[in-house]
Structure 1
Amino acid sequence: MACMWVMAQLPMAVQWWLGQGIGNLAHLTMAQRRRITEINIRLCFPELSTDEQAKLVRQTFRSNGIGLMEVGTAWFRKPESLRKYTQVHGYEHVEAALKKGKGVLLLGGHYSTLDLGGSLISLFIEADVMQRDHNNPLVNAIMTRSREQRYGVALGRHDLRGLFRRLQANRIVWYAPDQDYGRRGSVFAPFFGVPAASITATGRIAARTGCAVVPFSHFRRKGSVGYDIHFRPALAGFPSGDDLDDATRINTVIEQEVRTHPDQYLWMHRRFKTRPDPSEVNPYKQPKAKDEQ
């Protein structure tokens, strides 16, 4: 934590440079995460050549290395110091959604700018956040304190009652459903053309509360130090009442955002580990050696 605090005080250009170095080192040493990333890139970008896929894997590690540096910046540095680096687009969509008085579910994704993106949006809106608690109590305490200083309330990812209360109070709640949480409560909707276990909770939350679902994303600029936050129009006609259609729509929205900066997505997560057919082999499962068969 002390090292993260020190690193957070460095100029952003230096942080980016160091982060890329961390990413390069991780690419060389973290064989399991590299393998997961390679599998995801191969599944989601079959149109790329082998060399292009390998390049995207390396870029992904560099982006996530910068993201690691940005965690310290998000936790230990005041967002106001980063205003000059930040530009927001589509804020009018948030304003329009709030006027309906039913709350706003900010539909985010697991981009490598995850924590810093949250810190930056606090410059423009006041929002609560749903989070998965960290396994380390000290890290979790620092993370939660930081987020509640910059947002509003940090809700546990299973705290649906708290989420409903915040939406009923016409609050904005940041929500990212783009991970594999298993078969329970999920349908298999395409993500980059691959069937992926996708939770149905997003549509059910919107149906119960009447909240607006506003997609948003946050990415680093290419070529110069800076960040862009994009708010999109609230999803019209959502939910549809069909869990698969709703999950497909959510995945499509997130995919469209990811394609604008594919290296800045968390491809190290085993997004496709749960398969529609339980007998289907997990794509991340290592084949047994011949002498073990």
Structure 2
Amino acid sequence: MTRFVARLLYLLASALARLPWSWLLALGDLVAAAWRWRDGRESRVTRVNLELAYPELLPAEREQWHRAILRTTGRQILETLRLWTRPHQENLALLRETHGTELFDAAIAAGRGVIVAAPHYGNWELLNQWLASRTPLAILYRPPESKIGEAFLNLVRADAPDRVTQIRAEGPAVRQLWKLLNAGGVTGILPDQQPKAGDGEFAPFFGVPALTMTLLGRLAGRTGATVLFAYCERIDSHDGTPGFALHIEPAPADIGDDDLTIATTALNAAVERIARRDPAQYQWTYKRYTLRPPGSGEENPYWNR
């Protein structure tokens, strides 16, 4: 039954994704307008995050950013449905610019393993498809709570089963990734997801302590793998379809430091630098600051909001 429902959702998404780009983007704008009108979860979480990360903003500026973030997020939902259900070669034609791809090629040629840190900025699904077009890779992902949601996710990412291995972010994942990197393989990790309590270190993110994954730094430090940051940033398009610029950049040297506080601070600083390029393209609808430092007396900032 789970597979049947997931397949039905996939067919519905495929049909929707065949609409012209202008229609899809307009639907995304309607989604954003609904969030704002209802003051839905996405709207409330974005407001809290902006208050925490950008306290210097005036109320009018914060409202302008809030509107822009929801608009971009709404469009991304429809945009991603199309990327999931259309041929990858067609999707990759949306890349109008590429920067730093020689770093990726050199890292693979070095044979020491490659960790691609892909923040929630721009469109990370398009990035996954570009990476898979260049090399086999393993993607670490946190499974949705819904079994149907996970089945749907596996279905939409199954276009290249011989190129992409999906690894659930659970106990055996560390051993799998260790083995992969020691063999010179490539893995993609979303570095700005909040880990479970006890699985990370608190480090500043936009000046606010945020529980941060230590997995990436430990893998880098112990395997000698090259760490690169990568993202597909939205850029202006002149023909009515979205355009993207692919960026690949070196990671800070401290990202694999044995001192986990140093490593996680370097990781968050790199993500923050990318997010500040265009705050509207960062996933501010995510509850990044739910867990607070022990003994701080701070409460979950999203409660009662």
Alignment TM-score, normalising by the size of structure 2: 0.86
| 2:298 paired residue number | 280
| C-alpha contact 2:254 2:262 (8 A) present in aligned 1 | no
| 1:248 paired residue number | 265
Structure 2 residues without counterparts, runs of 5 or longer: 1-8
1:58 paired residue among 54, 67, 70:
67
Closer, same or farther: CA 281–135 of 1 in aligned 2, 3 Å: closer
| C-alpha contact 2:83 2:91 (8 A) present in aligned 1 | no
| 1:165 paired residue number | 179
Asked if 1:7 corresponds to 2:16, the answer is: yes
- 1:104-253 to structure 2, matched below 5 A, reads 104-111=114-121, 113-150=123-160, 151-158=163-170, 159-222=173-236, 224=238, 225-236=242-253, 238-253=255-270
Structure 1 residue runs of 4 or more that deviate by more than 4 Å after TM superposition? none
SS in 1 for 2:195: coil
Asked if 1:91 corresponds to 2:109, the answer is: no
SS in 2 for 1:244: helix
- Measure, in 2, the Cα distance between the counterparts of 1:142 and 1:26: 24
Q: Which range moves more in the overlay, 79-88 or 242-251?
A: 79-88
SS in 2 for 1:63: helix
What is the CA deviation profile of residues 152-198 of structure 1, one whole-angstrom value per residue up to 9, with x for unaligned ones? Answer: 10111121122122212322111012122243122211111111111
Closer, same or farther: CA 4–112 of 1 in aligned 2, 3 Å: farther
Structure 1 residues without counterparts, runs of 5 or longer: 288-293
| C-alpha contact 1:4 1:69 (8 A) present in aligned 2 | no
- Measure, in 2, the Cα distance between the counterparts of 1:81 and 1:143: 20
- Measure, in 2, the Cα distance between the counterparts of 1:217 and 1:50: 30
- Measure, in 2, the Cα distance between the counterparts of 1:121 and 1:21: 32
| C-alpha contact 2:45 2:285 (8 A) present in aligned 1 | yes
- Measure, in 1, the Cα distance between the counterparts of 2:128 and 2:39: 27
- Give the superposition deviation at 1:80: 0.9
Closer, same or farther: CA 236–99 of 1 in aligned 2, 3 Å: farther
| 1:73 paired residue number | 82
- Give the superposition deviation at 1:241: 1.3
- Measure, in 2, the Cα distance between the counterparts of 1:76 and 1:177: 26
- Give the superposition deviation at 1:271: 0.9
The residue type equivalent to 2:155 in the other structure is R
- Give the superposition deviation at 1:63: 1.1
SS in 1 for 2:57: coil
- Give the superposition deviation at 1:220: 1.4
Alignment TM-score, normalising by the size of structure 1: 0.90
% same residue? 28
- Measure, in 2, the Cα distance between the counterparts of 1:120 and 1:68: 19
Q: Which range moves more in the overlay, 18-27 or 136-145?
A: 136-145
- Measure, in 2, the Cα distance between the counterparts of 1:101 and 1:70: 35
The residue type equivalent to 2:227 in the other structure is V
- Measure, in 2, the Cα distance between the counterparts of 1:286 and 1:17: 31
| 1:265 paired residue number | 282
| C-alpha contact 1:188 1:196 (8 A) present in aligned 2 | yes
The residue type equivalent to 2:104 in the other structure is V
- Give the superposition deviation at 1:30: 4.4
| C-alpha contact 1:82 1:120 (8 A) present in aligned 2 | no
- Measure, in 1, the Cα distance between the counterparts of 2:202 and 2:111: 32
| C-alpha contact 2:254 2:266 (8 A) present in aligned 1 | no
SS in 1 for 2:211: strand
- Number of aligned residue pairs: 287
Provide the aligned C-alpha RMSD in A: 2.0
